[in-house]
């Protein structure tokens, strides 16, 4: 119908040659958000034509990570399931003489390249096999090793990029390139074009590193008479030093971050800002807000800076936004089972550590002392210039106060009200520091009243007793 908007169809087309990393998932996210914003479809296409490097376990990893992040797809395809399709188009190109069989050996090609380089010419295939009559080529192909090349015309091609505007390339620089190693072994640039056409893709959204593939793909599209596509080449992701992202950051997969205790919403919120920003430069965004506001005119051309501290900040933020119940459930999966034995104690420990956590795994490190007192040096109990005798005395009086509180009343509020009088009298640091260390064995921890409640009367007294034993050895 006149004026009717075309149904948007985008695809995320990873090659399963490694697990899903930040680069890949940022591409997936921008595709997904654009599809959601436009009421369109998001297609997942596994580009596994490179059989040597593709692995089923990487495909599984990609799918699992996308699902975990909530980037659900509407349709799923795998290129190796579609080989006969590519074969069909190779036949068409050969038939129309837009492609030809090439019998050049590696040595021939190497010699040509060296000759071109020595003349200061940018190397490209010189077209030796272009002129072999197709019938002769077909005959030779029966028992001679060959590849399929596409004929690339000497002309300029342009495409519309939603981030960069009109982009023009000179095809003359490219030369006839290989589209298939054999009829059953299509290569990336070719299979990609066929699928974009067959899957009715409207927009190609992918990383900037693919921009040099675009003129090659357009040349194939034109040879086959496919309609042009709209492109959006996303800016590179740069490391904190504005250089390319380090191998270490790139090598880490989404599943690694998941294992380390990052939340999906934190990762998505962090990634959406790698190249895009909403109006008023807000940073914390719900998934609905991202979907509503996403558009390519707010995607920058310059690289997005990958700053791990920012990811940690978002993660801490989203951990605190979880209810204590949800957080407890998530943590139950990653702590030693004996920690959950006393559920009440576990929930209290979660509530108190929640404020300080950046990652879920921080809990296991930060809260271990709640479940088992770590060994510590008695010197840690010393506040400023206090004498050992005074610390011991203060701890003894603290224990006396604790003894007088009943088990039922042994909560933060009551402990605090009973202790503060004493602490004001003797000095807060002098009373509360040794108590906190006695209960935690740590240099930094939640406050002593929170800890006393979580540990319970018996354990708190046991730990104070232990601290006094340590001190007595020093006297």
Is residue 65 a contact residue for ligand GLU (CB under 6 A)?
no
Residues 48/16, Cβ–Cβ less than 8 Å: yes
Q: How far is CA 457 from the centre of its chain?
A: 44
Determine if 206 is a binding residue for ligand GLU (CB under 6 A). Answer: yes
**Near ligand GLU by CB under 6 A, which window of 11-19, 51-59, 65-73, 257-265?**
11-19
Q: Does 61 bind ligand GLU (CB under 6 A)?
A: no
Residue 49 binding ligand GLU, by CB under 6 A: no
* Smallest gap from residue 176 Cβ to ligand GLU (A): 21
For the chain, how are helix, strand and coil distributed in percent, rounded to 5? Answer: 55, 15, 30
Name 273's bridge partners. none
Q: How far apart, in Å, are the Cα atoms of 153 and each of 48, 92, 159, 190?
A: 29, 18, 16, 16
Interface with ligand GLU, residue 436, by CB under 6 A:
no
- CA dist., res. 396 & res. 465, Å (int): 8
Q: State both tokens at 211.
A: 């921009």
- Of 26, 36, 210, 468, which lies in the binding site for ligand GLU, with binding defined by CB under 6 A? 210
- Nearer to ligand GLU by Cβ, of 14 and 19: the residue is 14
Structure tokens at 214: 């675009």
Nearest to 265 by CA among 336, 170, 330: 330
User: Among 14, 235, 316, 434, which residue sits at the site for ligand GLU (rule: CB under 6 A)?
Assistant: 14
Binding of ligand GLU at residue 21 (CB under 6 A)? Answer: no
Cα-based torsion angle of the residue sequence 227, 228, 232, 238 in order, rounded to the nearest 10 degrees: 110
Q: What is the largest CA-CA distance in the chain?
A: 104
For the stretch 425-433, contacts whose Cβ atoms lie closer than 8 Å and that sit 24 or more positions apart, written own/partner, are: 426/394, 429/383, 429/384, 430/383, 430/386, 430/390, 430/391, 430/394, 431/394, 431/398, 433/381, 433/383
Among 192, 253, 328, 398, binds ligand GLU (CB under 6 A): 192
Nearer to ligand GLU by Cβ, of 206 and 265: the residue is 206
Shortest distance, position 190 Cβ to ligand GLU, whole Å: 12
Nearer to ligand GLU, 15 or 445 (CB): 15
Q: Which is nearer to ligand GLU, 234 or 360 (CB)?
A: 234
In whole angstroms, what is the distance from residue 66 CA to residue 264 CA?
A: 10
Tokens of 112: 């040509």
Contact region with ligand GLU (CB under 6 A), list: 12-20, 228-236, 282-290, 305-313 = 12-20
283 backbone dihedrals φ, ψ, rounded to 5°: -110, -40
- Candidates 38, 47, 161, 430: give the one binding ligand GLU (CB under 6 A): 47
Q: How many CB atoms lie within 10 A of CB 57?
A: 9
Question: Which DSSP helix (H) or strand (E) runs through 205?
Answer: strand 203-207
Q: Give the nearer residue to ligand GLU in terms of CB position, either 53 or 292.
A: 53
Query: Of 24 and 441, which has the nearer Cβ to ligand GLU?
Result: 24
Q: Does 79 bind ligand GLU (CB under 6 A)?
A: no
DSSP 8-class letter at 132: S
| Span from 9-17, 237-245, 323-331, 384-392 in contact with ligand GLU (CB under 6 A) | 9-17
- Of 8-16, 88-96, 144-152, 259-267: span binding ligand GLU (CB under 6 A): 8-16
- 15 binds ligand GLU, rule: CB under 6 A: yes
> Is-contact 373 441, C-beta < 8 A?
yes
Question: Count of residues binding ligand GLU (CB under 6 A)?
Answer: 7
Q: Which of 8, 10, 13, 20 binds ligand GLU (CB under 6 A)?
A: 13
- Active site (annotated) includes residue 247: yes
Closest CB 234 distance from ligand GLU, rounded Å: 10
Active-site option among 5, 166, 243, 247: 247
Residues with a catalytic annotation lie at 247
- Positions that interact with ligand GLU (CB under 6 A): 13-15, 47, 192, 206, 210
């Amino acid at each position: 119908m006149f004026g009717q908007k075309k149904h948007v169809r985008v695809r995320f087309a990873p090659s399963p040659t490694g697990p899903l990393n930040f680069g890949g998932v940022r591409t997936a996210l921008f595709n997904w958000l654009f599809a959601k914003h436009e009421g369109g479809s998001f297609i997942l296409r596994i580009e596994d034509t490179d059989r040597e490097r593709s692995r089923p376990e990487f495909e599984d990893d990609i799918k699992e990570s996308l699902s975990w992040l909530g980037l659900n797809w509407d349709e799923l395809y795998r290129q190796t399931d579609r080989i006969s399709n590519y074969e069909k188009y190779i036949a068409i190109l050969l038939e129309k003489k837009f492609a030809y069989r090439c019998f050049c050996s590696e040595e021939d090609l190497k010699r040509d390249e060296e000759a071109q380089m020595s003349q200061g010419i940018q190397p490209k295939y010189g077209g030796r096999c272009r002129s072999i009559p197709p019938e002769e080529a077909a005959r030779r192909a029966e028992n001679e090793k060959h590849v399929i090349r596409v004929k690339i015309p000497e002309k300029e091609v342009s495409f519309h990029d939603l981030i960069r505007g009109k982009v023009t390339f000179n095809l003359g620089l490219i030369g006839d390139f290989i589209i298939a190693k054999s009829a059953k072994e299509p290569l990336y640039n070719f299979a990609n074009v066929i699928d974009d056409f067959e899957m009715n893709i409207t927009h190609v959204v992918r990383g900037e590193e693919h921009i040099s593939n675009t003129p090659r793909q357009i040349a194939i599209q034109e040879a086959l008479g496919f309609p042009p596509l709209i492109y959006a080449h996303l800016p590179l992701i740069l490391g904190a030093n504005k250089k390319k992202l380090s191998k270490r950051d790139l090598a880490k997969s989404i599943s690694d971050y998941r294992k380390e205790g990052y939340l999906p919403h934190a990762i998505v919120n962090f990634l959406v800002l790698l190249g895009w920003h909403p109006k008023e430069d807000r940073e914390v965004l719900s998934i609905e807000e991202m979907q509503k506001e996403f558009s390519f005119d707010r995607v920058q051309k310059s690289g997005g800076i990958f700053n791990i501290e920012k990811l940690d900040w978002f993660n801490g933020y989203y951990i605190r936004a979880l209810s204590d119940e949800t957080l407890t459930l998530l943590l139950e999966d990653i702590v030693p089972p004996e920690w959950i034995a006393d559920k009440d104690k576990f929930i209290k420990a979660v509530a108190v550590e929640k404020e300080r956590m950046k990652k879920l795994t921080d809990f296991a490190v930060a809260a271990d002392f709640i479940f088992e007192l770590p060994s510590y040096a008695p010197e840690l109990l010393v506040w400023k210039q206090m004498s050992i005798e005074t610390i011991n005395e203060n701890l003894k009086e603290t224990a006396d106060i604790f003894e007088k509180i009943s088990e039922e009343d042994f909560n933060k509020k009551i402990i605090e009200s009973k202790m503060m009088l004493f602490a004001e009298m003797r000095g807060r640091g002098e009373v509360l520091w040794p108590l906190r260390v006695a209960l935690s064995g740590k240099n930094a921890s939640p406050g002593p009243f929170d800890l006393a409640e979580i540990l319970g009367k018996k354990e708190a007294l046991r730990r104070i007793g232990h601290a006094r034993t340590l001190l007595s050895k020093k006297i």
